[in-house]
Structure 1
């Protein structure tokens, strides 16, 4: 079933065009063009570098009314000092598009992303050892592969984001399920991936909120060297993952902590009934319910203390992210998909990586909780 869905996705993707009329697409493709033209110096997105007419040609191909006026181009803004016009999206999506030949970038990007997601789904299916785990792996794997077409096609930034969420979910689950001596290495991997996700969508930086809340509270409640080092390593690894964003900010805005988004007018957070109704009537709402319910069930039935702590992390991360987007002044069909996929992948891997007691042995017996006289009786 997974392979059939993957083949169907690839067939659909092979007929996609890079001139579908979406303004953000042009910006991601322009960033890729700059990387291919100037190498790492492509981080500089100033319109002064638009000397080959690439942006104008792309805008004209989608019928943009002011295609010949660079300062009217979508997702470009003037820096605070008024010195230049730069792009607002972070550089990650343009970088991954630049890995493929110009004119044929979107199709291979989505094909590769689909292959990765199908690989994660097959891995979860292979690791499942019990009926419940096998069922969950089959259902969610099919859902994850389907989502690589809709809503992932809505934005080029979503394809790499989905891959990062799946990988971060796997490492997060291993961090709490296995609790191996290599725990710090897993924390480094999770931190780098969470930071790197912001290179594809700035809003992805919120994906780390629950992690910092959990590790911060862990240190406050258990003041130990281990909890301190875990939080410190996570923070440092997260900053390493953010380096591409810092570099782009420094090149374009003159300061690593000043984003090009700062030059745009943005509404303050507020509870807009129209936005809330939009989420209630969108596919994202049942996914929110599933993620919240799955987190609650993981807490309720977990027989491993690490898995219970994982449920707390997921609950905090879901609460913070959903609160952020509920107060966001704009709604789209994919805004909360990253946090939902990160949570659901983590839940799935927590289930399939957790081994139950051997068959034929009672759970209480395996935990050493049955009285000796009961253990000595022959089981019927």
Structure 2
């Protein structure tokens, strides 16, 4: 099933056009063009560099009104000092597109992302050892590969985001089944991935909210050296992952902490009934229910000493992200997809790593019983 859906996805993707009329597409492709033309200096998205007519040509190809006036181009804004016009999206998606030849960028990006997701789905299936975990791996694998077309096709930024989510889910699960140095490496990997995710979509920075809340509360409650080092490692790795965003901000707005995206979303936060109804009628709502029910079941039947800690992290992150987008003034079919996929992949890898230990013993959770002791208890 995995391979059949993957083959179907690749066949559909191979017929996609890069001029489908979506305004954001033009900006991601222009960023890729700048990277291919200027190298790392492509971080500078000023319209003053638009000397080859690339942007105008792209806008004309989708019949954009006023395509001759670059200042009317979508997702471009004037800097606070009025010195230049720059793009608002972060540079990550454009960089990913720039890895492929101009004119043939979207198809290979999506095809590669689909193959990576299918690979992790197969890995989860291979690691599953019990009927329950095997079923969960099969269902999530099918859904995740399908989602690489719908809703991932809605925005070029979602394809690389989905890859980051599965990687972050894998390392998050390892946080609570590894110990010592391996656990610290998993913390660093999670922080780095979450920071890098913001390079694809600025809103992805919210994916880290639950992690920082969990590690902050862990230190405040336990006051241990391990909790402090883990939180510090997460924070430093997260900042390292944010370096591309900081660099782009510095080049375009003159301040690494001021995004060109700032000011684009100034509507006050509130619970809009129209937005809530849109989510209730969308594919994202059943996924929310599945994520919440699975989280609750894992709390009730943890199967490993560290799982309930992971459930607290996952639940807190899910609540914070759902609250953020529920009060967002705009609805789209993919806004909540990243947090849902991060949550579901984390839960799946947690289940397959901690249940059915015939392939090997589970690493000791710091402060918990040793693997041999756990297996002895189960035998008794």
**For the residues of structure 2 that align with 1:285 and 1:365, how far apart are their CA atoms?**
38
Residues 337-378 of structure 1: CA distance to partner in whole angstroms, max 9, x if unpaired?
Answer: 00000000000000111134679xxxx9955389xxxx6xxx
SS in 2 for 1:286: helix
Contact between 1:79 and 1:263, CA under 8 Å: does it hold in 2?
Answer: no
Contact between 2:128 and 2:356, CA under 8 Å: does it hold in 1?
Answer: no
**For the residues of structure 2 that align with 1:337 and 1:167, how far apart are their CA atoms?**
15
Residues 112-133 of structure 1: CA distance to partner in whole angstroms, max 9, x if unpaired?
Answer: 0000000000000000111111
**For the residues of structure 2 that align with 1:292 and 1:2, how far apart are their CA atoms?**
25
SS in 2 for 1:262: coil
Once the 2 structures are TM-superposed, how far is the Cα of residue 66 of structure 1 from its aligned partner? 1.0
2:241 corresponds to 1:241: yes
2:353 corresponds to 1:345: no
Once the 2 structures are TM-superposed, how far is the Cα of residue 265 of structure 1 from its aligned partner? 5.3
**For the residues of structure 1 that align with 2:299 and 2:179, how far apart are their CA atoms?**
17
Structure-to-structure mapping, 1:297-316, within 5 angstroms? 297-316=297-316
Contact between 1:34 and 1:42, CA under 8 Å: does it hold in 2?
Answer: yes
TM-score, scaled relative to structure 1: 0.94
Once the 2 structures are TM-superposed, how far is the Cα of residue 248 of structure 1 from its aligned partner? 0.2
2:195 corresponds to 1:186: no
Query: Aligned residue for 1:378?
Result: none
Query: Aligned residue for 1:120?
Result: 120
The count of residues paired between Structure 1 and Structure 2 equals 367
2:177 corresponds to 1:177: yes
2:21 corresponds to 1:12: no
Query: Aligned residue for 1:144?
Result: 144
Structure-to-structure mapping, 1:213-232, within 5 angstroms? 213-232=213-232
Please, which runs of 5 or more residues in structure 1 have no aligned partner?
376-380
Query: Aligned residue for 2:93?
Result: 93
Query: Aligned residue for 1:209?
Result: 209
**For the residues of structure 2 that align with 1:308 and 1:198, how far apart are their CA atoms?**
28
**For the residues of structure 2 that align with 1:207 and 1:149, how far apart are their CA atoms?**
22
Distance 1:343 1:202, change over 3 A: same
SS in 1 for 2:261: helix
**For the residues of structure 2 that align with 1:222 and 1:271, how far apart are their CA atoms?**
36
Structure-to-structure mapping, 1:361-380, within 5 angstroms? 366=375, 368=377
Contact between 1:80 and 1:263, CA under 8 Å: does it hold in 2?
Answer: no
SS in 1 for 2:77: strand
Query: Aligned residue for 1:22?
Result: 22
SS in 2 for 1:81: coil
2:257 corresponds to 1:257: yes
Residues 14-43 of structure 1: CA distance to partner in whole angstroms, max 9, x if unpaired?
Answer: 000000000000000000000000000000
TM-score, scaled relative to structure 2: 0.94
Contact between 1:179 and 1:306, CA under 8 Å: does it hold in 2?
Answer: no
**For the residues of structure 2 that align with 1:265 and 1:2, how far apart are their CA atoms?**
39
**For the residues of structure 2 that align with 1:11 and 1:271, how far apart are their CA atoms?**
40
TM-align CA RMSD: 1.6
SS in 1 for 2:377: coil
Structure-to-structure mapping, 1:61-80, within 5 angstroms? 61-80=61-80
Please, which runs of 5 or more residues in structure 2 have no aligned partner?
360-372
SS in 1 for 2:323: helix
SS in 1 for 2:86: strand
Once the 2 structures are TM-superposed, how far is the Cα of residue 266 of structure 1 from its aligned partner? 1.8
SS in 2 for 1:177: coil
**For the residues of structure 2 that align with 1:37 and 1:47, how far apart are their CA atoms?**
14
**For the residues of structure 2 that align with 1:21 and 1:218, how far apart are their CA atoms?**
48
**For the residues of structure 2 that align with 1:93 and 1:261, how far apart are their CA atoms?**
15
Once the 2 structures are TM-superposed, how far is the Cα of residue 183 of structure 1 from its aligned partner? 1.1
**For the residues of structure 1 that align with 2:171 and 2:8, how far apart are their CA atoms?**
29
Query: Aligned residue for 1:321?
Result: 321
**For the residues of structure 1 that align with 2:263 and 2:270, how far apart are their CA atoms?**
20
Contact between 1:78 and 1:263, CA under 8 Å: does it hold in 2?
Answer: no
Contact between 2:303 and 2:354, CA under 8 Å: does it hold in 1?
Answer: no
**For the residues of structure 1 that align with 2:378 and 2:6, how far apart are their CA atoms?**
47
Contact between 2:298 and 2:308, CA under 8 Å: does it hold in 1?
Answer: yes
Once the 2 structures are TM-superposed, how far is the Cα of residue 305 of structure 1 from its aligned partner? 2.0
SS in 1 for 2:176: helix
Once the 2 structures are TM-superposed, how far is the Cα of residue 168 of structure 1 from its aligned partner? 0.4
